[in-house]
Structures are given as structure tokens and as C-alpha cells.
């Protein structure tokens, strides 16, 4: 799997896609990380957790 160069825009776009696909209650950080081919820990470099990431979307 090819690793993607992360930035906030890519993370937000992928998160929006996951929320649309699974809904805001079922989507999680691991879904976003898996879609980006990175570990969920890498996403914490940009956001402090699910709530922080979801708030950035809204």
C-alpha cells in the first residue's frame, strides 16, 4: 500500500467521506487512518482525537 503525505486538508476530506459513508456515530479515527493507509496515531499529530477532528469538519 502506498503511504499518503498527510496534511490537514487530506485528513478533513477523508474524514468527511467516512462520515458520509458510516455516519457520524459509527465512523472513527481508525476508519480515517485505514483509508489513508496510515496508523491512527499519525492522525493525532494533527488532531487531538475524534471530537477535535469532527469539530474541524463542522
Q: Where are the domains of the chain?
A: 8-57
Condensed to tens digits (0 to 9), the pLDDT of residues 12-26 reads 999 999 999 999 899
* pTM: predicted TM-score of the whole model, two decimal places: 0.85
Q: Report in angstroms the alpha-carbon separations of 48 from 2, 5, 7, 13, 44.
A: 25, 19, 15, 17, 5
- Look up residue 56 and give its three cell numbers: 474541524
Q: What's the whole-number mean pLDDT along residues 1-20?
A: 86
Q: Which CATH class is domain 8-57?
A: mainly alpha
Q: Which DSSP letter does residue 30 get?
A: H
Amino acid at each position: 500500500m502506498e503511504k499518503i503525505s498527510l496534511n490537514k486538508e487530506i485528513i478533513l476530506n477523508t474524514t468527511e467521506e467516512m462520515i458520509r459513508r458510516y455516519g457520524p456515530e459509527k465512523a472513527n479515527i481508525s476508519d480515517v487512518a485505514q483509508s489513508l493507509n496510515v496508523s491512527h496515531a499519525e492522525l493525532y499529530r494533527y488532531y487531538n482525537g475524534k471530537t477535535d477532528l469532527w469539530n474541524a469538519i463542522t
